[in-house]
Amino acid sequence: MEKRELTCIQCPMGCAITVEMDGGEVVNITGYTCNRGKIYAGKEVTNTTRTVTSSVRVTGSAKEDMVSVKTKTDIPKSKVFECAKALKGVTVQAPVHIGDVIVRDVAGTGVDVVATRNA
């Protein structure tokens, strides 16, 4: 039996929720005040995902040195650092537009990293 302690982010209450897990299965959730907290906790332990944002160098742009980027959708939390590493040394050539793909299928997640700024 594994126990995971979480802070709920659904409202400013910030309930301290405990999730008991057995072999990847949620067995019991305690500490939540409302149903939204219970749902959040269940998802947070079984399928945690995050959006990664960063910046990469751009060359040939009159106004920018860097272009900000993000994963187009959220990726598994376990892949966050791998994603950041995959952006190391990436340089793009201007012009760049919001939504342009900067790195395809980052860290094997199937998700593209896209530009969030024009340059």
Stretch that binds other proteins, among 3-11, 17-25, 103-111 (CB under 8 A): 3-11
72 binds other proteins (CB under 8 A): no
Residues 4-23 that bind other proteins (CB under 8 A): 6-9, 11-14
Nearest distance, CB of residue 52 and other proteins, angstroms:
7
Among residues 98, 113, 26, 21, the alpha carbon closest in space to that of 64 is found at 98
Strand partners, 45: none
Q: Do residues 37 and 15 touch, judged by C-beta distance below 8 A?
A: yes
Work out the angle at residue 73's Cα, subtended by the Cα atoms of residues 20 and 79, and round it to the nearest 5 degrees. 55
Q: Which residues bind other proteins (CB under 8 A)?
A: 6-9, 11-14, 33, 50-55, 57, 63-66, 68-70, 77, 80-81, 84-85, 87-89, 98, 116-118
